Amino acid sequence: MSSRRILIVGGVAGGASAATRARRMNEKAEIVIFEKGPDVSFANCGLPYHIGGQIAERDKLLVSTPQAFKDMFNIEVRCGHEVLGIDRSRHQVEVLDHVTGQRSQEKYDKLILAPGAKPIIPPWDGVTSPNVFTLRDMTDMDRIKSRVDRQSGARAVVIGAGYIGLEMVESFTQRGWNVTLVEKEPQILPIMDPEMVRPLIDTLTGQGIVLHMGAAVDNLQVRDGQVHAVRLGDGTEIPADLVLICIGVRPDVQLAAAASLKIGSSGAIAVNEYLQTSDPDIYAVGDAAEVIHQVTGKPVNLPLAGPANRNGRLAGEHAATDRCASATPVAGTAIVGLFGKAAGLTGLSATAAQRLGIEHEVSYAIRGHHAGYYPGAEQMILKLVYDPKTGRVLGGQAVGGAGVDKRIDVIATAIRFNGTVDDLSGVDLAYAPQFGSAKDPLHIAAFVACNQMGGLIRQIPPGGRPIGQLIDVRGPAMHAAGALPGAINIPLPKLRESLMQLNRNEPVTVHCQVGQTSYIAARILIQSGFKEVHNLAGGYTMNKSTG
């Protein structure tokens, strides 16, 4: 251990993790955290849930306090102190004390940057009005909650249908507000594939939330110092008592750029495997820094709490000891809850793979999260994205109720170790009727992928146009309750005796409710001499809205 002075810019996830790891690795170091805001370490992912009332006590969100840092780790925390600039040649930073207005020069041996990210705020009229908000810290949370507490049954317009936007839609609704959600992309959760988020649309509309998808905001309408309406590009005006802007964040690289540190292609601070910037005595972690994507191997900016905590820990160790393990690539694993439903993803979506020019194929499974004969099974839709040549798992998505997190975490693990769909098909998962099935939804999705790679089946993706003769192999009652246009109903038990009704030389598309029975039908047809047979992935469940 050597005595050295480690200064950290920013607390929360990355900075706080760096500080405490540095102390655990070097008892002699002097460690100081400069935090511009009033709270050094808080659970920012919990902010919507205090507004919504699920987390009743505000203090539960305070992960640690300056006094706790001092008592437990002998780390000095200076809240309300903003680092204004870095003098790399002199190894010092300029600090402004927002309470006293005094400026000071602070020497460092090692400097860790964890300034986070800033909300994107368009130059609309009225964005500084008292009823227009963003949500990034506890001060924002307090302002929003105070407004919500004072009014009941008012109108909230949430702009942006990403994670925070959806969580706040739920929170406002649970507090009795009337909510409108606006998103410039044609779907909610644009990071996911379009067909995967359709069940969540039904969830939102079922809660009475008004949706404006594919709608760009033109401006905010201001009256008497308050925004009273949100005007869309088509001229629609949405009345509003409160406006929440959740259209994304940008990495806060102002300090780094001013110090001529390298900014990467993603717009975040470039770092090496030890989180060092282009200056080896300066590190960067969290939302302001780049990470390596597990699938593409390229630097990206992924503002997520998990990587920020893990990389903060590594940077703190290296700053304290000049050594640490290499940073682990990141798959972008994330999940959001919405009125009892969940949507999770990891790795690349099919949309992202296509945009990046990465060859890929997909498979689906629609199953209960545990054995169907045990009460309470909740249906989930699971999607795998994989390399059709090697079978390498490139990504996964799941939407449903219980159990979504478990499946996404398993897929993320497979991606981390360059696993294939064949690996997933044989992974040994815990099974009891109340927890899963002997053939888990993950196994089913992997089986489908293996069958596709083996040439056993051809698949039309959900929303795709059926080819040739469209055969519905469900029972008559299910067909009568709802059918795709033009579908001929031949229940699977009658298919073998009905083959003469079909033209073997014309393509056939088969479908059922979720895709399993139709796979059996497709195998019958293929082995009975039909030249071109396709299975409609997701069956009636995922195609009824596009049929």
Asked if 106 and 92 touch (Cβ cutoff 8 Å), the reply is yes
| Terminal-to-terminal C-alpha distance of the chain | 68
45 is catalytic: yes
Question: What is the chain's percent helix, strand, coil content, to nearest 5?
Answer: 30, 30, 40
Q: What is the DSSP letter of 227?
A: E
Beta-strand ranges (E) seen in 62-146 are 62-64, 76-79, 81-87, 92-97, 103-107, 110-113, 117-119, 132-133
Q: What is the DSSP letter of 194?
A: G
Q: Where are the alpha helices (DSSP H) in 417-543?
A: 421-425, 441-453, 476-481, 492-495, 516-526, 539-543
Identify which of 275, 284, 281 has the alpha carbon closest to the alpha carbon of residue 257.
284
Asked if 454 and 425 touch (Cβ cutoff 8 Å), the reply is no
Q: Which two tokens stand for residue 326?
A: 């290499």
Beta-strand ranges (E) seen in 295-340 are 299-300, 334-338
Give CA–CA dist 370/377, Å, rounded: 5
Given 45, 79, 246, 324, which residue is catalytic? 45
Give CA–CA dist 534/516, Å, rounded: 13
Asked if 400 and 341 touch (Cβ cutoff 8 Å), the reply is yes
Report helix, strand or coil for 54: coil
237 sits in which H/E element: strand 237-239
Identify which of 466, 36, 109, 60 has the alpha carbon closest to the alpha carbon of residue 322.
109
Name 168's Cβ contacts closer than 8 Å, sequence gap at least 6.
48, 51, 135, 158, 244, 246
Which residue's entry shows tokens 């780390």? Answer: 75
Q: Which amino acid is at 95?
A: V
Q: What is the dihedral of CA 40, 43, 48, 49, to 10 degrees?
A: -130
Can you say how many angstroms the Cα of residue 332 is from the centroid of all Cα atoms in its chain? 7
Q: Which amino acid is at 217?
A: V
Q: Which two tokens stand for residue 122?
A: 């368009």
Give CA–CA dist 534/459, Å, rounded: 5
Residues marked active site are found at 45
